[in-house]
Amino acid sequence: MGVYDRLFVPAPSPCPQCGAQGDLVIQFHFGDVYLHRFRVGDTIAWSDRAKGSPRTGRFEVPGYPEWCTRCGFDPEEYYLVQFDGDVIVGYREATAGDMERFDW
């Protein structure tokens, strides 16, 4: 997978295995990927090691959830990180149709 950035959002539900409640962490490859920690509303940066290129308007990039830090449970679902230009505006769980749009 290489180097990535991380989006931290409140988990929509507790861990299905151990019940821990914490942040959902979504890894994504877009912008200046270097293990940056982001929240919704943050602006990504660009550098010579960036993945992708700056865009305008609203779009989504694929994201991968991290495992539960308490028990190690590894979720199987995928997410889409939502952008408006360089600003992270949200996220959502990916659907089967979304998986066809991206080279997962």
The confidence band for 62, taking pLDDT boundaries of 50, 70 and 90, is: very high
Q: What is the pLDDT at residue 92?
A: 96
Q: Round to the nearest angstrom and report the end-to-end CA distance of the chain.
A: 11
Residue 57 burial class via C-beta count within 10 angstroms: exposed 0-12, middle 13-18, buried 19 and up: exposed
Q: Which residue has the tokens 């290129």?
A: 53
Query: Is the per-residue pLDDT at 31 higher than 60?
Result: yes
Question: How many domains are contained in the chain?
Answer: 1
Domain that holds residue 71: 5-101
